[in-house]
């Protein structure tokens, strides 16, 4: 193994005790023979020791009181009504949001087509080659168009 | 309240905290505040920003505890929230730029008195913080979790949701940068 690769190991796995015994021995053997790599190791070890010996600073005593106050305030806010609640469905992932939005758009489009009478006109069935029949057994003024091919060609009149 | 280790917290206590029980929340805080504040300080470089990060972290933990599935370690989950909050806060406050300016200014003042510079442990800690301020966020997170918290590569990879080899390469580049800065300014 070249010095460049060895230094990568020295500065990470070796110094952090992440190597298995065989790899560790290989690095140690290289270090005993290579003064350049040894100086990299010494410098890295000093640096890491300096970082590990950073004095621990305790969290200020007021921290929990501040957290608790904010936590309670936010919980009180969450219990009260908010217009944001109306949009809770958008709290999911992107796929869920996209599905919800597309479904809403599809429903609105279908509703618009239905109201304007453009949904599934009889002419489109004729163009498609389907025979159209009317449900005459439905009482009142209601008349629905049936696509007999789709329901097996039976006559439901 | 006596501080417990995070691993000693029962699932029942965690569920109670998730439902808003203040005593259970305090027990969770008592078990986690040590490492949360330590990581926050390592990431921020000063106590004021660390306070803000730790505060925001615990609010997020307590508000989202009901989403914790008990499939992974609670400690890993809390570490992840802490690091993410710290990274977001750093971005928000543009701390990096401020710190780099402070780093240059402080180095000038430090170079005037090199003997006094290492006289106390406080100045040594200050030197380390100044060095950490020269790192990018990703490298700094790895150094804080490995060298200050003593976590293993596998744990760091889980917390940061990155490949273990990415942890290695970030640590290597971070240490190379730190050695370079130390040599450059004779710290």
C-alpha distances (whole Å) from A121 to each of A114, A117, A118 are 10, 8, 6
Residues facing residue A66 across a β-bridge: none
Chain centroid to Cα B89, Å, comes to 12
| pLDDT, tens digit (0-9, with 9 covering 90-100), for B151-179 | 999 999 999 999 999 999 999 999 999 99
Contact assessment for residue A125 and residue A147, using Cβ atoms and an 8 Å cutoff: yes
Question: Of B135, B10, B151, B156, which is closest to residue B80 (Cα–Cα)?
Answer: B156
What CATH number does residue B52 fall under? 1.10.1740.10
Nearest neighbour of A44 by CB, restricted to B29, B55, B179: B179
Q: How far apart are CA B147 and CA B26, in angstroms?
A: 28
Last residue of a domain, one of B93, B123, B151: B93
Q: Does B37 touch chain A (CB under 8 A)?
A: yes
CATH of the domain at B156: 1.10.10.10
Tokens for B70, please give them. 């008990």
Q: Comparing C-alpha atoms, which of B125, B162, B163, B154 is closest to residue B41?
A: B125
Q: Are residues B10 and B86 in the same domain?
A: yes
The verdict on a CB contact (< 8 Å) between A60 and B47 is yes
- Is the domain of B139 the same as that of B87? no
**B88 and B175 share one domain:** no
Q: Do B115 and B167 fall within a single domain?
A: yes
User: How far apart (Å, rounded) are the C-alpha atoms in residues B158 and B77?
Assistant: 9
Name which of B62, B122, B127 is nearest A71 (Cβ-Cβ). Answer: B62
B179 vs A43, A64, A75: nearest CB? A43
B68 and B143 co-located in one domain: no
Residues of A with CB under 8 A from a CB of B: 8, 11-13, 16, 18, 43-44, 47-48, 50-52, 54-60, 63-64, 66-68, 70-72, 74-75
Burial bucket for residue B10 (CB in 10 Å: 0-12, 13-18, 19+): exposed
Instruction: Write down the pLDDT at residue B120.
Output: 47
Domains in chain B: how many in total? 2
Single out the residue in B93, B115, B141 at which a domain terminates: B93
Query: Do residue B109 and residue B169 come from a single domain?
Result: yes
The alpha-carbon gap from A79 to the nearest alpha carbon of chain B, in Å, equals 12
Instruction: Report domain extents, chain A.
Output: 3-52, 62-115, 120-157
Q: What share of chain A is helix, strand, coil (3-state, %, to 5)?
A: 60, 5, 35
**Residue B131 near residue B182 (C-beta atoms within 8 A):** yes
pLDDT: is A120 or A57 the higher one? A57
Does the interface predicted TM-score (ipTM) exceed 0.85?
A: no
Q: Which two tokens stand for residue A77?
A: 């806010």
Mean per-residue pLDDT, B86-109: 71
Select from B38, B55, B150 the Cβ nearest to the Cβ of A63: B55
Question: What is the chain A residue with the closest CA to B182?
Answer: A47
CA A118/CA A102 separation, integer angstroms? 21
Q: Is B103:B130 a contact under the CB 8 Å cutoff?
A: yes
Q: Are B6 and B80 members of one domain?
A: yes
Q: Which residues form the domain of B187?
A: 97-187
Q: How far apart are CA B100 and CA B173, in angstroms?
A: 18
Within A53-93, residue ranges assigned H as helices are 62-79
Whether residues B56 and B110 share a domain: the answer is no
- Could you read off the pLDDT of A53-112 as tens digits, one per residue? 888 888 999 999 999 999 988 888 777 666 666 666 566 677 788 888 899 999 998 888
Rounded to the nearest integer, the mean pLDDT of chain A is: 78
């Amino acid at each position: 193994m070249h010095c460049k690769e060895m230094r990568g190991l020295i500065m990470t796995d070796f110094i952090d005790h992440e190597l298995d015994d065989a790899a560790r021995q290989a690095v140690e053997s290289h270090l005993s023979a290579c003064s350049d790599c040894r100086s990299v190791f010494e410098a890295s070890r000093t640096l890491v020791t300096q970082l590990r010996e950073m004095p621990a600073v305790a969290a200020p005593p007021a921290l929990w009181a501040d957290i608790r106050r904010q936590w309670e305030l936010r919980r009180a806010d969450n219990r009260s009504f908010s217009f944001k609640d109306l949009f809770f469905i958008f709290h999911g992932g992107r796929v869920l949001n996209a599905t919800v939005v597309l479904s809403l758009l599809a429903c609105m489009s279908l509703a618009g087509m239905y109201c304007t009478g453009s949904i599934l006109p009889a002419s489109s069935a004729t163009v498609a080659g389907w025979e159209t029949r009317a449900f005459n057994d439905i009482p009142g003024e209601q008349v629905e168009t049936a696509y007999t091919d789709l329901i097996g060609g039976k006559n439901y009149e | 309240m006596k501080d417990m280790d995070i691993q000693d917290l029962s699932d029942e206590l965690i569920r109670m905290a998730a439902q808003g029980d203040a005593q259970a929340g305090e027990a969770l805080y008592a078990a986690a505040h040590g490492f949360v504040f330590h990581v926050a300080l390592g990431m921020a470089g000063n106590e004021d920003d660390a306070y803000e990060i730790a505060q925001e972290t615990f609010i997020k933990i307590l508000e989202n505890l009901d989403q914790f599935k008990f499939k992974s370690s609670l400690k890993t989950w809390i570490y992840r929230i802490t690091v993410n909050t710290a990274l977001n806060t750093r971005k928000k406050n543009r701390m990096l730029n401020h710190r780099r300016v402070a780093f240059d200014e402080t180095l000038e003042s430090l170079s005037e008195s090199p003997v006094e510079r290492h006289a106390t442990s406080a100045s040594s800690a200050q030197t380390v913080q100044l060095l950490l301020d020269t790192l990018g966020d990703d490298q700094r997170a790895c150094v804080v979790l490995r060298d200050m918290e003593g976590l293993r590569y596998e744990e760091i990879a889980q917390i940061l949701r990155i490949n273990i080899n990415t942890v290695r390469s970030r640590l290597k580049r971070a240490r190379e940068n730190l050695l370079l800065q130390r040599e450059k300014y004779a710290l």
